[in-house]
């Protein structure tokens, strides 16, 4: 089975013996791969749309992964704590992911693991997790098909915590490996460009100072933890 580096990284974060639910499964590749690996006690998957779910059903049959249960629902609406101790939400925007977490009360359980991979708005997702007491225990960047993604593993910790702008931008990603360094460099370039543009217009001083501070913070991170800098 051909499998993307992104989905491989996500699968590697799943602990053996887990009961997994893959939210927004689309093609169903992730549950099919996990099923083939044989590392999960049970696997279910959801999608908000029927068409992707039909596609997942077909693919799962083709991969002989018939033990995967599929549910047509918004987020985790059809899923209970008994059905999943590990929830994967990948390939969806950070704000939608926050909304799905917000609605699923059973995720506020120290023993439930969340594996999240936002397509956009990773910074807003990190802010949501901090504000709502979800602790990120591990976060890795991965380059796949010339795009950079962040994958975070977290669980409910019960206590909200502060998060500064630099951490909001790159989370726990470090420049100690190629994809991590590239992820931070990309965010550094975005912050620098924004600060330079704001400086030229001479407007919005607060936003300018914030962008420059992120730029310098990321430069420091690259210089102190990585070898190549920017």
Ligand X SMILES: C[S@@+](CC[C@H](N)C(=O)[O-])C[C@H]1O[C@@H](n2cnc3c(N)ncnc32)[C@H](O)[C@@H]1O
| Shortest CB 230 distance to ligand X, Å | 30
Question: Which of these segments, 31-39, 61-69, 91-99, 206-214, binds ligand X (CB under 6 A)?
Answer: 91-99
Does position 72 interact with ligand X (CB under 6 A)? The reply is no
Distance of alpha carbon 228 from alpha carbon 3, whole angstroms: 30
| Shortest CB 213 distance to ligand X, Å | 33
Instruction: Pick the binder of ligand X from 47, 123, 139, 215 (CB under 6 A).
Output: 47
Does position 75 interact with ligand X (CB under 6 A)? The reply is yes
> Residues touching ligand X: how many (CB under 6 A)?
16
Does position 21 interact with ligand X (CB under 6 A)? The reply is no
Token output for 125: 């997702």
For 1, residues 6+ apart whose C-beta sits below 8 A from its C-beta are 29, 32, 33, 36, 63
Does position 102 interact with ligand X (CB under 6 A)? The reply is no
Distance of alpha carbon 36 from alpha carbon 40, whole angstroms: 10
Phi, psi dihedrals of residue 152, rounded to the nearest 5°: -115, 140
Question: Which of these segments, 35-43, 88-96, 107-115, 171-179, binds ligand X (CB under 6 A)?
Answer: 88-96
Does position 92 interact with ligand X (CB under 6 A)? The reply is yes
For 38, residues 6+ apart whose C-beta sits below 8 A from its C-beta are none
Q: What angle do CA 186, 201, 164 make, to 5 degrees?
A: 45
Using DSSP bridges, classify how beta strands 86-92 and 40-47 pair: parallel, antiparallel or unpaired: unpaired
Instruction: Pick the binder of ligand X from 9, 24, 33, 116 (CB under 6 A).
Output: 24
Nearer to ligand X, 71 or 177 (CB): 71
Q: Coil, strand or helix: which one is 113?
A: strand
Question: Which of these segments, 87-95, 154-162, 168-176, 211-219, binds ligand X (CB under 6 A)?
Answer: 87-95
Give me the sign of the Cα torsion angle 77, 108, 117, 29: negative
Phi, psi dihedrals of residue 121, rounded to the nearest 5°: 60, 35
| Shortest CB 81 distance to ligand X, Å | 18
The DSSP secondary structure of 115-137, one letter per residue, reads EEEESS-HHHHHHHHHHTTEEEE
Question: Which of these segments, 12-20, 23-31, 131-139, 160-168, binds ligand X (CB under 6 A)?
Answer: 23-31
Binding stretches for ligand X (CB under 6 A): 23-26, 46-49, 52, 74-75, 90-92, 96, 100
């Amino acid at each position: 089975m051909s499998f993307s580096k992104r989905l491989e990284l996500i699968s590697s974060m799943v602990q053996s013996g887990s009961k997994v639910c893959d939210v927004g499964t689309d093609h169903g590749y992730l549950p099919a791969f996990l099923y083939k690996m044989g590392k999960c006690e049970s696997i279910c998957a959801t999608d908000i749309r029927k068409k992707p779910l039909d596609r997942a059903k077909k693919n799962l049959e083709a991969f002989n992964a018939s033990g995967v249960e599929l549910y047509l629902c918004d987020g985790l609406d059809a899923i209970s704590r008994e059905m999943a101790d590990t929830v994967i939400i990948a390939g969806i925007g950070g704000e939608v992911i926050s909304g799905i977490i917000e609605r699923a009360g059973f995720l506020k359980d120290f023993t439930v693991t969340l594996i999240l991979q936002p397509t956009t708005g990773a910074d807003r997702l990190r802010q949501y997790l901090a504000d709502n007491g979800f602790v990120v225990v591990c976060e890795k960047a991965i380059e796949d098909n010339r795009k950079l993604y962040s994958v975070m593993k977290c669980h409910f910790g019960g206590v909200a915590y502060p998060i500064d702008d630099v951490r909001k931008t790159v989370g726990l990603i470090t420049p100690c490996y190629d994809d991590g360094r590239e992820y931070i460099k990309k965010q550094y370039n975005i912050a620098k460009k924004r600060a330079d543009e704001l400086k030229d217009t001479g407007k919005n001083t607060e936003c300018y100072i914030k962008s420059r501070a992120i730029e310098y913070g990321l430069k420091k991170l690259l210089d102190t933890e990585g070898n190549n800098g920017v």
